Amino acid sequence: MAVEKQQVGSVWTRPRKGREQPTLTREHIVAEAVALLDAEGMEALTMRQLGARLNAGATSLYRHVANRDELIELVVDEVYGEVRVPVIADPAAWRVAAEDCAESLRAMILRHPWMASTLGQVGLSYLGPNVMRFTEGLVGLFEAGGFPADETSDAISLVTSYVVGMGISEAAWLALLARSGQTEHELVAQLRPVAEEAAKDYPKSQHGDWDADPAERRDRKFRYGLHRVLDGLEPRRG
């Protein structure tokens, strides 16, 4: 007896159902879901809560997305559409273009701090049109920069892994900041005596940049790591 194959569970592997209601489209649902996530975080994203914001019942939402997991795939793809990937003709322009793309990816993650708790659990998000355009653009950028074909994918993974890793850490900090209701300067000032007390027996763990602007310090740390990653990749260009 033939065994029926189960379809892979993803919004990108399932065809859309029939005609959409003119008053409620998938695009409208996704836009409102992103707004909800930006305002209240991933914990607030439920079909019931989203339906209330849209003045629609959860049943209406299920005509467009099968479940919450599919909705998360859609919102992740949506925000990836914000990332810039420059197109270059001159291989010498690769480094500046790669920095610009990395900064754009980081900025997207920081605009949407809920991404910090989402990127590790987004199923087949890489099949979404915006993520695929992002990937296609990066391949074109690195190929134009002179990377060998058999290294392009690994070089891209190195850069994006660094940016996403740093972005997740920063986004988690910004989410804490939002929950505290304080400015970044206020929260750092509040944490300083606690951190200094904890580090008093660990002199190598102490640091002296408490008086630096917190946002500028985060920018500096991000760019230091990004530049070292690109330094390591530079000699691999053809």
CATH of domain 84-236: 1.10.357.10
d(CA 51, CA 72): 15
Under-70 pLDDT residues of the chain: 1-9, 12, 14-22, 120-125, 207-208
Contact between residue 112 and residue 34 where contact means Cβ atoms under 8 Å apart: yes
| Tokens encoding 140 | 């074109």
The confidence score (pLDDT) of residue 59 equals: 77
DSSP state of 190: H
Alpha helices for the chain (secondary structure H)? 26-40, 47-53, 58-61, 68-80, 94-111, 129-144, 149-180, 184-198, 214-233
Q: List, in order, residues 6 or more apart from 217 with CB less than 8 Å away.
A: 209
pLDDT value of residue 135:
94
pLDDT tens, residue by residue, 156-214: 999 999 999 999 899 888 888 888 889 999 998 988 888 888 888 888 777 667 788 99
What is the value of pTM for the model shown?
0.84
Question: For residue 202, which amino acid is it?
Answer: Y
Q: Assign a CATH topology to domain 11-79.
A: Arc Repressor Mutant, subunit A (1.10.10)
What pLDDT was estimated at residue 20? 47
Supply the pLDDT for residue 130: 94
> Directed axis angle between helix 149-180 and helix 94-111, to 10°?
30
What are the residue ranges spanned by the domains of the chain? 11-79, 84-236
Q: Do residues 229 and 170 touch, judged by C-beta distance below 8 A? A: no
Contact of 115 with 171, CB cutoff 8 Å: yes
